[in-house]
Structure 1
Amino acid sequence: MATLFSKFVNEIDMTRSLSIPTSPMGLKHFEENQLMDMHVQDDCGQLWMFSCSIQKNGDAGCALCVDWLEFVRHKDVRIGDEVIFIEDIVKDEAMGARIKIQVKRKIRLFGQDIWAPVK
């Protein structure tokens, strides 16, 4: 398993869409405004389908904009949580390839900061 992408969730990710630079996801050959679906599986085994589009991101190039707000509400994702996309592709004939998604939250336990999975 290898991490494709991770980031700390910010306010825009929570209210509009998750923005991911296209280069870490291997999406350089897609065109602006192109639509696609991303099939992911969370830590609980639940399948999610995120609608995505490629959008111009100023001088930084293009970004993959992921419509994940239902996931955010269901998982109680918060600003500062870390979202991680993992290249552990599961083959599913009905859905095609999926990517694993994890969300971690920093909690203080016995005086130590630890990153715990958000279930």
Structure 2
Amino acid sequence: MAVVLSKDLKPTDIKHRFSFPSGSLQYVDFAGEFSADLRVKDSSGEVRVIRCRKRARDYAKPELSKGWRKYVTDYELRVGDRAVLLAEEDHRLGSQFRMEAKRRIILLGQEVWGDLPRAN
């Protein structure tokens, strides 16, 4: 599995859409379009369709839009949590990616990132 992106969430990521660095675009097949529907398996094993869009201008800043807010709600994500998108072909489920939600915790005086289970 290759890490496509790992980002600590900001208010805009939680409330509207999840923007991420354009260097991660190499993993998304847009087929000449400005958006692509990604089949993403979450940590509970559910396959979700999340739309990835990019700008049509010189700087193709990508973002996850349709389907992203449902993921935020289902995992009760908040500012400061981390979203990790991994490239993972699961032919059985037909998914292209795996999404993990993480929260910072202090364990025995050390900062670690714990996996968030689906809340809803």
Give the TM-score taking structure 2 as reference length: 0.80
SS in 2 for 1:77: coil
Distance in 2 between residues matched to 1:28 and 1:74, nearest whole Å: 24
Correspondence list, 1:21-36, <5 A: 21-26=21-26, 30=30, 34-36=34-36
Distance in 1 between residues matched to 2:99 and 2:60, nearest whole Å: 22
Instruction: Report if the CA contact (8 A) 2:86-2:97 is conserved.
Output: yes
Q: CA RMSD in A?
A: 2.6
Instruction: Check 1:27–1:98 CA distance in 2 against 1; reply closer, same or farther (3 A cut).
Output: closer
Q: Give the structure with the larger strand fraction.
A: 1
Instruction: Check 1:62–1:116 CA distance in 2 against 1; reply closer, same or farther (3 A cut).
Output: same
Which residues of structure 1 form unaligned runs of 5+? none
1:88 equivalent to 2:50? Answer no
Structure 1 runs (4+) deviating above 6 angstroms are none
Q: Share of identical aligned residues, percent?
A: 23
Of 112, 115, 118, the residue aligned with 1:117 is 115
State the match for 1:100 in structure 2. Answer: 98
